[in-house]
Amino acid sequence: MTSHDCVFKLRKLLKTKRIGHTGTLDPDVDGVLPICIGRATKVAEYLTNSPKAYEGEVSIGSATTTEDATGEVVEEKEIDGMISIDEIEAVLEKFKGEIIQVPPMYSAVKVNGKRLYEYARQGIEVERPERKITIYDISLLDSFEYVNHINNTFRFYVKASKGTYVRTLAVDIGRALGYPAHMSKLTRVSSGSFNANDCLTFDEIVEKLNNDSLKLFPLERALSHLTKLVISEKLEMQVKNGQVLPIPKGYENSSRLVLINKNNECIAIYKQHPTKEGLMKPEKVIRNE
């Protein structure tokens, strides 16, 4: 299933049009896919922009058109000898922090108004825009001693910023080891504050709908990675009217603030005013429905 397939199916199950996902998963990738429903769609962008974590598998020795196991093999090189666990860990360490990544041809990135995968399907190679991404954490998951031409895969964990292509990361890791490579498996293990323990399968959703026990997370959970500020009832009225406010003392370095009322409900998301120092303006006001 594609991420859009999941949304389409849930739209019918929940009988609502206001629904959307928070970060595309390729059809051959499984794992965590938070879905926003109803008024929670207003904060979907904040969850989409939050860091995501994955467990992936790199296959050394062959590169594919799509950079994953679904593509045609375009380059092969047999592993000569052994690649030690120390070599792999040293290479992974080099990818930590802010790095430059070129998105794969089979991706939804637009160039001149057309998605890259559309060019790729026509056999057209175009120049792809570089992008800065951040690798917050990356580590080896396997405890083997080495990789060779027989056992040519290894698993890794990565936590990265929005816009990171993990299959491209797998290719770049292989290249740094001196070999063509592709991503052979991938599971998203977290998205923002959500992990696999928070998730339901479609069968579980249907079962809970049938016995009227389906419970949704409050939209505030999608904002848990942002700085929060509890406000008074008096200030709440000003916030609901979208007024510009002074930045509270101690919050000067926060690019965004989630304003919460006494009932722990999100009233609005404010950001620093672009032209007026010391003030903040509403980026989004969340009204009750």
Dist CA 284 CA 219 (whole Å): 13
Catalytic residue among 5, 26, 142, 172: 26
Per DSSP, 99 falls in state E
Query: For residue 18, which of 48, 41, 2 has the smallest C-alpha distance?
Result: 41
Token duo for residue 279? 């003030």
d(C-alpha 256, C-alpha 175), whole Å: 38
CB burial of 228-257 (b: ≥16 within 10 Å; e: otherwise) equals ebebeeebbeebbeeeebebeeeeeebeeb
Sign (positive or negative) of CA dihedral 140, 142, 143, 148: negative
Closest CA to 265 of 214, 218, 199: 218
30 is catalytic: no
Provide the annotated active-site residues.
26
